[in-house]
Amino acid sequence: MFKVMIVDDEPAIREGLKTIVDWDAIGFEVAETAANGREALQKYERIRPDLMIMDIRMPGMSGLEVIEQLRQDKLRQAHVLILSGYADFEYARRALGYGVDGYLLKPVDEQEMEEELRRVYRTLEQERKVSIHRSEPVPIHEVVEQMLLSSSGKEQLKAETKLQLDWNMYQIILVELREGPGKPSEGLARSFRQLSDGWAADAKTVIFRAGSYLGILAGREATIQSLQQLREQLIALEPEGCQVYLAAGEVVEDKSLIHDSYEQAESLMAQRFWAGESGILEPEPALAAPGGEGTTPLAGEWADRLYYAVDIRSIEAVGRVLEELIAACRSAVLSEQDTKSLCSHVLSLALSRLPGSIAGSGPAVQQCLSLIPQLYALSTASQIIRLVLQHTGELLESMDGGSHESVMKQMTDFIRRHYSDNLKLEMLAEIFNYNSAYLGKMFKTYTGESFNHFLDQVRLDNAKEMLAQGMKVHKVAAQVGYANVDYFHSKFKKYTGISPSAYREQMGEG
């Protein structure tokens, strides 16, 4: 029997995990539980569990900090399965970089839990067999793993004490496999074996495990073409829908610098969220805008743009807004988690305005809003754009009649619906994808009036109705989109020849 320690700050989860699984049948026994990270480290010294099932977010010392401490001095001695929620995905991804065996989303599914335990059990059994034959020479891939992943590995490489490779060049390639949105693949072991038997038949290639990544130490320089071929081969080996990402470090001529190539590949893989459809990550110029980091996008402004794009029933406009939002997040050097949070906030703000402005859209909007938790499980920014476009397209189809009217008819109708907003010709030009000066000329030709004059006329026509109902002047000004009451007063008098208060009294007398 292999020993298990369950670490979670919630007693119900600790006890629940002890009872929902038939531990004996799988080959484990729950030897101990711990309520927090510090307690887990203390009990570890006494229990020395083979597997730790640990919550990633706990008060005091997080699960991530526990894993970091375990890996400092006891590399690969404790296998770890982590528990996390959608909101903890960034923590989970970082933990996978420390070589944990996988993660489970809360609430834990019994079947998924048992599958993970059986997988870890097979790994432990294999390690037990290997330990029995330790008198045999250590395989070269294990030497590479130890020298790249251990805290003293860089020094060992510089000393050149273990890595007996005499090549002209060295390069590290890292591979990440994901079976679905946000879910690391369980196929690393399978791909390890397949590559070891196939692609790695070349004498100048070593396949190794690098935490949650598959690692390749190559004695030749990888090209985009060769990386693409490798990616296609891995996709063919994995289940349908598996996502494959590759990152190649720099080529070095001295094996004491292999760790530098590994660190560069690891750094590139950390940018996986911004990867395009090819799945191959390459060095790029600094992500920040010229002169420093870009300005953090404001959720309210982007929500307005997205809402207007949906309101005019234009999936093309929605796509442009999303792409520009993602570009702004990247320019501002936002983290993956912050980008997902901002996109979710923008989507929520934009869609929540629709039921009030478009009759019958409520159910479709609610269905579209339900996709927000899915955003946190996606692997790349392009997947976010694709998912939102898919659901927004379905939302537009559910609305009464997609707009096939002329741009000018859409624009005038849009102004009549949103006259109280802070509308600008430049903003509408972006939404309708026109040059603002050209759009202004088209608008005047169509309506006979300038954009600003038309907007004022719509506002003041609505103001007349409100004043006739007896509303106070300052409230009417705010309702129709004028922040300054004096400015509203002068506009109203210019257009009608009478002040707002006089008009209200006149209509009241009538």
In a domain, 345, yes or no: yes
* 310 and 275 within one domain: no
In a domain, 290, yes or no: no
- Strand, coil or helix: 312: coil
In a domain, 293, yes or no: no
- Number of domains present in the structure of the chain: 4
- Last-in-domain residue among 228, 247, 281: 281
Q: CB under 8 Å to 463, separation ≥6 — which residues?
A: 476, 477, 479, 480, 488, 492, 500
What torsion do the CA atoms of 469, 474, 480, 484 make, to the nearest 10 degrees? 160
Go through 430-441 and write b for each residue having 16 or more CB atoms within 10 A of its CB, e for each that does not.
bbbebeeeebbe
Of the candidates 343, 305, 244, the residue with the CA atom closest to the CA atom of residue 432:
305
Decide the pairing of beta strands 28-34 and 2-7: parallel
* 360 and 453 within one domain: no
* 101 and 57 within one domain: yes
CATH of the domain at 439: 1.10.10.60
Q: Given the structure tokens 């509308």, which residue do they identify?
A: 423
Q: Given the structure tokens 């189809």, which residue do they identify?
A: 397
* 331 and 220 within one domain: no
* Host domain of residue 106: 2-132
CATH of the domain at 57: 3.40.50.2300
In a domain, 292, yes or no: no
Confidence at residue 404, expressed as pLDDT on a 0 to 100 scale: 44
- Last-in-domain residue among 354, 379, 398: 398
> CA-CA distances (angstroms) from residue 146 to 99, 138, 474, 479?
12, 11, 73, 68
* 256 and 200 within one domain: yes
- At 361, the amino acid letter reads S
Q: Is the full-model pTM beyond 0.85?
A: no
* 160 and 235 within one domain: yes
* 101 and 79 within one domain: yes
* 251 and 144 within one domain: yes
The stretches in the chain having pLDDT less than 50 are 74-76, 134-135, 182, 200, 285-292, 401-404
In a domain, 95, yes or no: yes
* 229 and 153 within one domain: yes
Confidence at residue 403, expressed as pLDDT on a 0 to 100 scale: 46
In a domain, 23, yes or no: yes
CATH of the domain at 269: 3.30.70
* 276 and 242 within one domain: yes
CA gap 100, 252 in Å, rounded: 29
Confidence at residue 402, expressed as pLDDT on a 0 to 100 scale: 43
- At 398, the amino acid letter reads S
In a domain, 56, yes or no: yes
* 498 and 468 within one domain: yes
* 18 and 122 within one domain: yes
Q: CB under 8 Å to 16, separation ≥6 — which residues?
A: 108
For the segment 17-50, what is each residue's pLDDT rounded down to a tens digit?
A: 988 888 988 889 999 999 998 888 888 877 888 8
In a domain, 291, yes or no: no
